[in-house]
Every structure is written in C-alpha cells, then in structure tokens.
Structure 1
C-alpha cells in the first residue's frame, strides 16, 4: 500500500455510526478478534445524538415478536444482558416491570396472542386479572385481564453509550467524531470527513442513513428509510401516581406500541411516544437539518403510501397527527389509569426519529432487523425498536454470520 499520510488511515474494521449498534459491533469484534484494529466514525460531535440517545430507555422483555423473528431471538437475551451489565458496572437501572392493559374484548384476544408469543420466546409473563393488577400498579385499569412483565426495566441510554465508549477506547478502538461518511472511493477505501480510510471490512451502522450508504455498495435496492417522529410528554408533579410502565395492547400489524407510560430511572413519568410521519430524516424541530433532496424523496413515498393506504398508513397518519395536540395525547394515556392530574403533563421531551425501513416493492414497513452484505461490507438496514435492548446479542450474531477477519 506504500506510505500512508496523516489523512490516510488503515484498519481491519471501519464502523460507520457510534450509536448502540456501532458500539456493540465494536465490542463483539474485540471479543472475537482482540488484536484487530477498529475505527468508529460518527458524523456528529457527540455520542447518542440520534436514536440511541433519544429512545425511551426501556429494556424490553421480548414478547411482542413472532418466534421466528430476529427480534424474538435477541430481545429477551439482550434484556438480561443489559440488566446484568448495568449491575456489574454500577450504572443506573429501574427494575419497575411493565403491565400491558386492554380496553375491550378485541384487545383481550391480542393480549392472549402476546402471552402466546412470550411463551414461545420463553419470556417470563403472567396473565393477571383486574384485582391482581392492583398489586403491580394500583393506578392502572384494564378490561378483564392484563399482562405482567417482570423483566422490563428502564435505563439511561446515554450512560450506557458513554460507558461502552470508555471501555472500547481502553481496548484500543479509535473514535472519529465530526467525521461524516462522504463516499466510496475505491474497493476497501472510503472518504469520511478529511480522511481516507482503508479497511478490510466495513460495517454500516448509520441508522437514518444506512440505506443511502448501502446503495453506494450495491445494497438496499428494495428498501428506503421512512422516518417517524416520536415525542414524549413528561409529568412534572412531585407526586408519583404511576410506578410501573403501563402499555396498551398494540396493533401487532404495525411496529409501533402506542402511547404508554414510561417510568424513567429517577421515577419521572412520561407519556408517548408519537409515531408521526416525518418529512426528512432529521426532522426534529422546525426546519433544522432540512435537506431538500430528502424531503422530496420522503414526501413522494409518503404520498404513495397515503393514497394507497398501504399497511393502513393513511389511518396511521391521521391518528398520529392528532397527537400534536397535547390534550389528545394526554387523553390517550389517561384512559389507562384510574386517576392522574392531567395539568401536570406539561414538559415536552427531546424528539427522536425512528429510522423505519420500507420495502418499496411490497409497500410494507419491515418489522424485523435486516442485514445485507458481502465479503467486504455489511449493512445493518433496519435496527428499529427494540434495537437498543437487542443490540448486544444481535450484533454478536452479525459478527458471527457476516464478518470474518482477514
């Protein structure tokens, strides 16, 4: 290769994206190939600027997903892994559990389907009646039955990300912040920021931009990321009227779980999230980070989905847009509890964007994780919720199945 300049660097593995998927890929690579050289590039100046630092912080137990899915395979294992990781490293965790409540006979059927999925996935889960529900969450209300999930917990995602980064740096992993992937230069070379990075293997964990980058390497031909904006509303009272995560029975045809109560690590209550179709990939607030090409591409696809009502998109869009109205969002949550002061829900949290993959041929949202690749590159295209929970075992599987050293 000859002499390498200061702007040319060479690594065994180059990872795009310093979110939870990128960091756990690096952790698994170091565990399997301890002598390998690894670089992680990140276009932002800090960790957790996007999905990994803006998610709910819930460690999911793994009962929403069909037994044949990667999500089912890795969520329960990931939940146990991160619970242990937090304890071992003195990171904060709230082992508050979760109840899933329903409002009518139809939802009761779905509740039993969730229990069936939990049983197939070997997830501890208990069907309880209205009286038993009071033992777990006195303020929750349900129609006839509810589910109790003892494994569900909440963590501080940024605390975990920072701990991983410090650990990886001690193991020799190089981090390049403020270093955006620009383009593919040649076989096994990319331009990122001011650097030309040579690699034996490239792993694309770019989240919102994973599909764009994958197309540079001949992948993601059938897929595009459609962004959905999630916003939470916090309860600012000093009282704690809810102590356990309370979720509604979801529409299991869509990958969204509905408005629910999340109890943060400090006991703070928040309700949400929304799943509002966004108009560009980083459509967090106002016209910040607006990109015209993205806007035109995404609005075109959203118009197609709206007109065809693919997977019920039109209904979903109308329902979610209502949640911009704070009172409507609050009402969705209030219906799941006996009593709460609605006036104390008055602090909006930081919005997040869900990088949701769409199959352009079938016009369906992809429910499971999607990975594509060849001997030189690997592209993690759909790492949506519960990707944080599932991240360590999922990326271990990616390393075992897609990555060979040398």
Structure 2
C-alpha cells in the first residue's frame, strides 16, 4: 500500500464515492484514496434507504436550497448513468397524501416548493380524493400530490459502479479499513488505519456520514455541533400486495422540523413492497443491535448532555415523538397501522418479514435545533461535509460535482482539466446547469 497521497477521502458511501468519481477524471496524475471501514462501498446508509430518486417538492427552497438543487439535477444524472451501465432505474412516481385539512395546506405548500425548485406542471399535480380514486382506488385520503418525476433505483449498485469507474482512472479504495486517528504532522495529515498502519495526505475530505461529526471534532472542527442517530426500520410486504398500488405512497409528516417520518408504502425498483422507515433514536451510527447501543449509550449521552443536543432531548415534543418511534419498533402492528390509515386493505398478520434497517444521522446546533441543510466547512487543508441526509443519494452526483468545483475554485484542490469528460458528462456542463438552477 502506498503511504503518501495528494487527497484522502474518508467515507465510501455514495457521496464519498461520487466525489472520487469526479476527482478521478479531473486529476489523473494525482494520488487519491478513499477509505471505507466496511467490506464494500455503500454498505451502511447509502445502501439501506428507500431507494427513491426524490423529486424536490419536500424541500424548502430557502432552508434546503443545496439539497433541492442537487435532487432536481440528480434525477436526470442517475437516469443517464443507469442507462450507460445497464443498472436498474424506474420512473414510477410517488404520491403524497393528506389525511385532513391541515395536511391539504401542507400539500399546497409542497406544490409551490416543487415548482420553485424546478418541477414543471407535467411533473407534479394536486388532486382531490375523487381524482386520485380514479388512478389509485385503494388509497384513502382527503387530497394528494402526484409527483410524476420521481423514481426508484438501487443505490448500492450505483455506488459500486462508480467505484469501478474511479478505480479505472487510478483511484485507490481501501476497504475494510477503519480510520482510528487523524492528526496534523509536518503540514500533512497523518491518518492511522486500524490502529497500526499510517498513511499521509496533503488534503483531507471528510465524507464519513454517521462518523463525519466525530472526525471533524477529532481535528478541532465544528465543536459546537453534535449528531444524533436514528435507525430506520422496514417490514416487507408479501407478494400479494405488490399490485396494491402503482406508486409509492408517503403521508404528510405532522412534525417536519424533527427527523421523524410517518412510515411510507415503498415500492422498490424490483417491484417488491415495504412499509417504512420509522426513526428510532439509537446511540451509534452502527446501532443496528442492542449490544452496539448499550456499548455507546454512556459516551453518547455524555456528549449530548454537554452540547446543544441537551435542549433537544429534554424538549417534551421530541420526547413524545421518540417514544412513539420506539413503540413502532417494538410493535409491528403500531407501524403497520400508520400505513393502514391510507391503505386500509393491508393486514398486519400477513406481514411477517423484516427488511434491512439503515441509520441516518442528524446534526443539532448549539441552540438545540436540528440543522435543516447540509453543512460544508472549509479548512486550510481539509473539507468537511456534515448533515448530508435525504435526499442525499438522489443528489449525490451533482452535489459531488459542486463540491469538487468548490474545492478547485477555492484553491484547496487544484484540478488538471476542468473540462474533462466524466463518463457521459463534461464536467463544466454539469457546473453550468447547477449554477443556472
């Protein structure tokens, strides 16, 4: 293994791998490595989500501007990339339902946001319940938004394909390798791997997902921020339900300022259906099981009590929502019942198999508020990407291009050919589209 690199990316999720993809085309003479602690890329959150290519109607164009812009362009980029590599992609739409008058007001807001974020009249429409019943007779609601420009994908397969493309251009991937220490030494980053090996880098990109805040803290960055982790669980529906609806169904979230979601009816790219995800508070970005959460409980609670997160966890509304999510984890019926409110034909007794759980991490600021948008932090020789959440997979390609362009224009990482052909796109053309919208 080479010991000296120009750039090291910590994190082989869909974001870190997408960054490596563009850097590999723009910097063919530079030595660049991606470090991923799991045995493969996209092993955690990037490969354990709903698999949706989200249209940007759920995202406030002011508070989540970067996410919304990336999601808008991400749909077309993933569609094109999937065709090039013969990967699964299905434009199947999504329906967001309102179950009461308050929810209808939210749908009207989402319609406005979607159009502000670039969706056209043909991409999104508001329907009353009689209009919807003609298309989806099994759905019970007061009104709905039908979003036609929404799709299903396999982000794990996409990320593995991006890794192969990057490796062809000379990128190094260190899989099954954990970063155990990062420190500055003689103007370079000394990165300790698995507590024994050392590599050195001129520049560090922190795209570590659930561990991004911890890595930032370790090098003295973003000390005022902390993160909290939520496990999203799924239940698989039997095949007899695969034709119950034509599209995935979401319901309007009652408390959008918190990272809790009412479980969705999810149709995956292979046609199978699931209920989920909920958002169960856990104490580790790898808190899939009881043992891991017990191990991390005390250190995580001490961290949260000593930060702005203290205000959040003692907020009564947050506590009530957290308890509801825990109940949905302990009781299959509680989780299924949330979906039965708009799909009453579903019977909990017929749902017996759990899906693959994933964990997402949200950042809380010093005032105890959940940060609504991604947080990007420039340092002299490092760049940190914090709070990269949904629709993170949807927007990973354009967002990564944005980051690479930012690093270049800021003089942090110089690129050799900004007009390079990056697979099906010229890099400069991607940036021009991002800047137009």
- For the criterion TM > 0.5, the same-fold answer is yes
Shift of 1:366: 1.1
Asked if structure 2 preserves the Cα contact closer than 8 Å seen for 1:92 and 1:265, the reply is yes
Q: Give runs of ≥4 in structure 1 deviating > 4 Å.
A: 301-304
Residues 1:60 and 1:294: Cα distance change in structure 2 (over 3 Å): farther
Asked if structure 2 preserves the Cα contact closer than 8 Å seen for 1:280 and 1:294, the reply is no
Q: What residue is the counterpart of 1:228 in the other structure? A: 230
What CA distance in whole angstroms lies between the structure 1 residues aligned with 2:303 and 2:335? 25
Shift of 1:299: 6.4
In structure 2, the residue corresponding to 1:27 is in which secondary structure?
A: helix
2:357 to 344, 351, 362: 351
1:306 to 305, 310, 313: 313
2:342 to 328, 336, 346: 336
RMSD: 2.0
Q: What residue is the counterpart of 1:383 in the other structure? A: 388
1:71 to 63, 67, 78: 67
In structure 2, the residue corresponding to 1:380 is in which secondary structure?
A: strand
In the alignment, structure 1 residue 286 sits paired with structure 2 residue 290:
yes
What CA distance in whole angstroms lies between the structure 1 residues aligned with 2:13 and 2:362? 16
What CA distance in whole angstroms lies between the structure 2 residues aligned with 1:348 and 1:326? 9
Q: What residue is the counterpart of 2:94 in the other structure? A: 98
In structure 2, the residue corresponding to 1:175 is in which secondary structure?
A: strand
Q: What residue is the counterpart of 1:47 in the other structure? A: 41
Q: What residue is the counterpart of 1:245 in the other structure? A: 248
Shift of 1:169: 1.1
Residues 1:292 and 1:342: Cα distance change in structure 2 (over 3 Å): closer
Shift of 1:358: 1.1
Residues 1:292 and 1:331: Cα distance change in structure 2 (over 3 Å): closer
Asked if structure 2 preserves the Cα contact closer than 8 Å seen for 1:231 and 1:351, the reply is yes
In structure 1, the residue corresponding to 2:201 is in which secondary structure?
A: strand
Residues 1:303 and 1:214: Cα distance change in structure 2 (over 3 Å): closer
Unaligned runs of 5+ in 1: 1-5
Q: What residue is the counterpart of 1:3 in the other structure? A: none
Residues 1:136 and 1:254: Cα distance change in structure 2 (over 3 Å): farther
What CA distance in whole angstroms lies between the structure 1 residues aligned with 2:97 and 2:344? 12
1:1-400 equivalent positions in 2, closer than 5 A: 9-68=3-62, 69-123=65-119, 124-143=123-142, 145-185=143-183, 186=185, 187-189=187-189, 190-193=191-194, 194-240=196-242, 241-250=244-253, 251-288=255-292, 290-291=295-296, 294-297=299-302, 300=305, 304-309=311-316, 312-324=317-329, 325-359=331-365, 361-400=366-405
Shift of 1:385: 0.9
What CA distance in whole angstroms lies between the structure 2 residues aligned with 1:135 and 1:375? 58
Shift of 1:292: 5.5
What CA distance in whole angstroms lies between the structure 2 residues aligned with 1:156 and 1:398? 23
Asked if structure 2 preserves the Cα contact closer than 8 Å seen for 1:237 and 1:344, the reply is no
Asked if structure 2 preserves the Cα contact closer than 8 Å seen for 1:255 and 1:367, the reply is no
Unaligned runs of 5+ in 2: 415-437
Length-normalised TM-score, structure 2: 0.86
In structure 1, the residue corresponding to 2:399 is in which secondary structure?
A: helix
In structure 1, the residue corresponding to 2:390 is in which secondary structure?
A: coil
Length-normalised TM-score, structure 1: 0.92
Residues 1:222 and 1:389: Cα distance change in structure 2 (over 3 Å): same
